[in-house]
Chains A and B, each alone.
Chain A
């Protein structure tokens, strides 16, 4: 700067200061909000997890004691691991059913099979419905006596299959998984369809000149080419499956009834942190420890998985 000292600082430096002010002005409010509502709760949950709690009153610092109890001490440990196992089942089943059906639907829509325009809307419709409504609706559908599911089975003569879907341990979780897939199948469908529509048609023609097997076409050409869209679908399903809460809460209640057969980590966290009428126990420290474990598990797996999938995409 060679400006004389008695002229007020205009020029580039004054401009940069003004720009800096603007950037600060624009960045600070969202940062404050984010800190207040996202970072602070996460950090404090992390902190809570290291204290002993009596109801909502904080007592002494206990180190990793809460983590040890929730993971390895009865009666908590077996519930934790059982819930975790259910989350894994939910994730694996949805991976196959929800994403699988999503892909098949997307493929049919892409190939313009039967009434594609109608189905494009129909498939995505449940996604915009609230989970509360969906859960309530399907709870009615699954009603052992009046529900449409059993009524329909009877109507087509499959009386032997009539059963209390949500009321027995063998079918309750599967029923919930089915409802989740029904509600959410539109999302992978849409993402896959977008991926499919990006494939140049001459590429498919070129492949059809070399093979008449639809299976080869899908496995060797179509699937690799839509890999980029699978990343987001897989990761979001993973996160959703391990944070699964609303649907089991609405359809099976806080205890994961019947007999804990639909219990998942989200429900167990809620019960330990905030208690429930039946159990009456409430331990904020244990709840926080569980939340921290869930958060770390999801964050770490999702991060590494994303990195892995992205690397494969780059290979394309």
Chain B
């Protein structure tokens, strides 16, 4: 059981405000992913939760218990570090027993936990090795195993895949998802990679500049981003933002003409349109915004056409890979699907 509750959490390093009032509720057994660009404060927030750094303000409770004066080892939290942080002078087994021995567990209980974790993570043949004799992926599994044997209520993982090569990354990602299912603890996972976030999370916390931009399921974030930051951060290829002038249901983009978009939300005359590749279809002529073909990208399952609108914005449109060859240059038209578009206020960046 572990419910985490953060209220107005702030953190300052000297005069720099790194976290500017974080409010967050994390339920039992959730796999929450903190995602955001580098330097937005994800690791800082994780370290505050772990108790490795003191907060500068706000309250943090686990199951209603205030954590400010509880030392890291007494919070029921285990953490997997980006560098794995295995003790280099200890064998894999010793790395895993160090913490539980200090918890005062009986020897046979420790042994049972080691065996269980080793079996789950395929560590049995490695138990007597030193960390320097392990590959990156193996070290990663040991780091997870070390967290596992403590049977914590909360797992924290800080960019656990960033030191692995691309081939291993998706394997380990899958393993972590499976692990979360098996042990059923609360997990907080930090990454700057939105694909990782989308594939793993039950809920995503999008952070930017020391504040939370939006919290929601992957689907909610993708379909109803609260503002332009979330809209452009989530989804690949990125959403393109373009300014349009509205009169009635007709939206004009400078130099590209106007298109009628029925059912658009109420707004002023100026609107920011959010265009995902899926929301655009490419036609050589007919209805749509006029654009100049730039290049096309063939990815096997997918194909994208990149085109420049009249105001200079580069947009991408997903096209049928089989018919990819049809558009190869010159003037084209990109037609938006009204139901797949996003509308934002140009001043506040908020969703309309």
A residues less than 8 Å from B72 (CB atoms): 208-209, 212
A residues less than 8 Å from B86 (CB atoms): 206
What 1/0 mask marks residues of chain B from 55 to 74 whose CB sits below 8 Å from any chain A CB? Answer: 00000000000000001111
A47 lies within 8 A of chain B by Cβ: no
What 1/0 mask marks residues of chain B from 22 to 60 whose CB sits below 8 Å from any chain A CB? Answer: 000000000000000000000000010010100000000
B residues less than 8 Å from A205 (CB atoms): 47, 50, 52, 79, 81, 85
Are the CB atoms of B89 and A211 closer together than 8 Å?
no
User: How many residues belonging to B are interface residues under a CB distance threshold of 8 Å?
Assistant: 22
A19 lies within 8 A of chain B by Cβ: no
Interface of chain A, helix or strand or loop or mixed?
helix
Closest to A315 in B: B89
A210 to B73, CA, bound (A): 5
Are the CB atoms of B88 and A225 closer together than 8 Å?
yes
A residues less than 8 Å from B82 (CB atoms): 202
A129 lies within 8 A of chain B by Cβ: no
A12 to B79, CA, bound (A): 61
Given A200-B83, A203-B87, A212 and B77 contact (CB-CB distance below 8 Å) = no
A316 lies within 8 A of chain B by Cβ: yes
A202 to B102, CA, bound (A): 19
What 1/0 mask marks residues of chain A from 220 to 255 whose CB sits below 8 Å from any chain B CB? Answer: 110011010000000000000000000000000000
A205 to B48, CA, bound (A): 12
A115 to B78, CA, bound (A): 33
What 1/0 mask marks residues of chain B from 250 to 284 whose CB sits below 8 Å from any chain A CB? Answer: 00000000000000000000000000000000000
Are the CB atoms of A208 and B87 closer together than 8 Å?
no
Are the CB atoms of A211 and B88 closer together than 8 Å?
no
Are the CB atoms of A211 and B85 closer together than 8 Å?
no
A145 to B86, CA, bound (A): 58
Given A209-B73, A209-B77, A209-B78, A216 and B102 contact (CB-CB distance below 8 Å) = yes
A280 to B200, CA, bound (A): 89
Using a CB-CB cutoff of 8 Å, which residues 173-215 of chain A contact chain B?
Answer: 200, 202-203, 205-213
Given A209-B72, A210-B73, A202 and B85 contact (CB-CB distance below 8 Å) = yes
A residues less than 8 Å from B81 (CB atoms): 202, 205-206
A284 to B47, CA, bound (A): 69
User: How many residues belonging to A are interface residues under a CB distance threshold of 8 Å?
Assistant: 20
A residues less than 8 Å from B71 (CB atoms): 208, 212
Are the CB atoms of A208 and B73 closer together than 8 Å?
yes
- Which of A209, A212, A216, A227 has the most B CB atoms < 10 Å from its CB? A209
Are the CB atoms of B88 and A208 closer together than 8 Å?
no
Using a CB-CB cutoff of 8 Å, which residues 149-171 of chain B contact chain A?
Answer: 150
A224 to B95, CA, bound (A): 14
Contact of A203 among B50, B52, B77, B85 (CB under 8 A): B85
A225 to B50, CA, bound (A): 24
A220 to B90, CA, bound (A): 10
A216 to B71, CA, bound (A): 15
A130 CB to nearest B CB, Å: 39
B99 lies within 8 A of chain A by Cβ: yes
Are the CB atoms of B88 and A316 closer together than 8 Å?
yes
B203 CB to nearest A CB, Å: 24
A residues less than 8 Å from B295 (CB atoms): none
Are the CB atoms of B50 and A221 closer together than 8 Å?
no
B residues less than 8 Å from A206 (CB atoms): 79, 81, 85-87
A315 to B130, CA, bound (A): 9
A205 to B102, CA, bound (A): 16
A residues less than 8 Å from B98 (CB atoms): 207, 210, 220
A221 to B85, CA, bound (A): 12
Are the CB atoms of A202 and B87 closer together than 8 Å?
no
A residues less than 8 Å from B77 (CB atoms): 209
B155 CB to nearest A CB, Å: 11
A159 CB to nearest B CB, Å: 45
Contact of B99 among A203, A210, A224, A227 (CB under 8 A): A210
- A203-B87, A205-B81, A227-B89 known; 20 new pairs, CB 8 Å cut-off, are A202-B85, A205-B85, A206-B79, A206-B86, A207-B87, A207-B98, A208-B52, A208-B72, A208-B73, A209-B77, A209-B78, A210-B102, A211-B99, A211-B102, A212-B71, A212-B73, A212-B74, A225-B89, A315-B89, A316-B88
Closest 5 CB pairs of A and B: A210-B99, A212-B71, A206-B85, A202-B85, A224-B89
Could you give 25 example pairs across A and B, Cβ below 8 Å? A200-B85, A202-B82, A202-B83, A202-B85, A203-B85, A205-B79, A206-B79, A206-B81, A206-B87, A207-B87, A208-B72, A209-B73, A209-B79, A210-B73, A210-B102, A210-B150, A211-B99, A211-B102, A212-B71, A212-B74, A213-B102, A220-B98, A225-B88, A227-B89, A315-B89
